[in-house]
Amino acid sequence: MLALEITQLQKTYASGLIALKGIDLEVQQGDFFALLGPNGAGKSTCIGIISGLVNKSDGEIRIFNHSIDSDFLIARSKLGSVPQEFNFNTFEPVDEIIINQAGYYGVPARIARRETEHYLKLLGLWDQRHSQSRQLSGGMKRRLMIARALVHKPRLLILDEPTAGVDIELRRSMWKFLEQINEQGTTIILTTHYLEEAERMCRNVAIIDEGKIIQNSSMASLLSQLKSETFVLYLRDELEVAPRLESFYNVTRVNHRSIEVEVPEHHSINDLIRELEGQKIVVERMRNKVNRLEELFIKMTSGRATSSKSSDRESL
Ligand code: ADP
């Protein structure tokens, strides 16, 4: 069963800008799916249309086989959405925001209160339940958005940059939370700048660029397309110039004790270390310059406005 089926989705904004140029996308029930792309690719527009926040220009969207046009109420009941911008009343208490949302979906008050307690506890917001939402930290507001999206128990949860602007610890716990609800049966579609986590967590992926889908496959088969990986090597001794390495590409000296080397798939790291040792260059440590998905992503989108933030690993 398909959780989401998008056919020839098009969006032209009033300004004349064509944000989506006919997108087709299928997401299976139970999937953990990443929608990736550089800034301005059309991800938020796409999610906004699915969530009913943006009007489409053309095309069709079905959620668990219910059209968002002809079957709007049923389609909407199956969907929970977490937009990028906080869009709750900041003067309203936290618990009321969620209880009221449940009301919009026709959840009876007693069940709404029970579910609100469940999700507030699960997302670590129970102690703040009587606070006005404007008093919450950024990370808490984001968790509140997620609790609100889940209160009517949607089968499909769509999140636009759920971990943007939250600290590393919270980011990790949020991914873990999403993994758990996915294991319990909720289909998840998200956009993210954090390609390292996307690589680890998402089973399937679509890459959107300039309003078109340029890649749609399993994460594993996407990563298998990677023809080379770039490594940063930390050297024992200082180097004046980058070494000449016949079998490797783009050998560059980063500073006096580190170099970057692109290793093609038909060569191993052992080959590289051996070749360096032949030149009396000793490698002390090494790491991937960027994670594999990021490397592929940059190549596919020609490095345009790179969407990755995995380089903030450096500051961990
Ligand atoms: P992404 O989420 O991938 O960064 P968006 O969907 O936000 O991309 O934007 C896609 C394109 O549509 C961009 O060129 C953006 O400037 C434009 N766009 C987004 N929202 C609007 C709007 N309300 N009016 C006009 N253009 C918009």
Whether 174 and 201 have beta carbons less than 8 Å apart is answered as no
pLDDT in tens, 104-117: 999 999 999 999 99
Give the other-Cβ count within 10 Å of 64's Cβ: 20
In angstroms, the CA 103 to CA 249 distance is 60
Residue 15 Cβ inside 6 Å of ligand 1? The answer reads yes
- Domain 2-223: which topology? Rossmann fold (3.40.50)
Whether 94 and 128 have beta carbons less than 8 Å apart is answered as yes
From ligand 1's centre to the CA of 28, what distance in Å? 26
The pLDDT assigned to 309 comes to 46
From ligand 1's centre to the CA of 240, what distance in Å? 46
Mean pLDDT value across residues 23-31: 97
pLDDT in tens, 253-284: 999 999 999 999 889 899 999 999 999 999 99
Residue 50 Cβ inside 6 Å of ligand 1? The answer reads no
pLDDT in tens, 156-171: 999 999 988 788 888 8
Residue 193 has pLDDT above 90, yes or no: no
The Cβ-side half-sphere exposure at 204, using a 13 Å CA radius, reads 15
pLDDT in tens, 200-258: 899 999 999 999 999 999 999 988 888 888 999 999 999 999 999 988 989 999 999 99
Q: Which two tokens stand for residue 124?
A: 């670590």
Average of per-residue pLDDT values in the chain: 91
The pLDDT assigned to 315 comes to 27
Q: Ligand 1: which atom is nearest the Cα of residue 45?
A: 6
From ligand 1's centre to the CA of 39, what distance in Å? 9
Q: Is the alpha carbon torsion for 183, 185, 189, 190 positive or negative?
A: negative
In this structure, CATH architecture of domain 228-300 = 2-Layer Sandwich (3.30)
**Domain residues of the chain, as ranges?**
2-223, 228-300
228-300 shares the fold of 2-223: no
pTM of the model: 0.85
Q: Ligand 1: which atom is nearest the Cα of residue 15?
A: 25
Residue nearest to atom 27 of ligand 1 (CA): 13
From ligand 1's centre to the CA of 239, what distance in Å? 46
Q: Provide the percentage of residues in the chain whose pLDDT is more than 90.
A: 76
Query: For the chain, give me the number of helices (H) and strands (E)?
Result: 10, 14
The pLDDT assigned to 183 comes to 97
Residue 305 Cβ inside 6 Å of ligand 1? The answer reads no
Residues 6+ away with beta carbon under 8 Å from 290: 195, 230, 298, 308, 310, 311
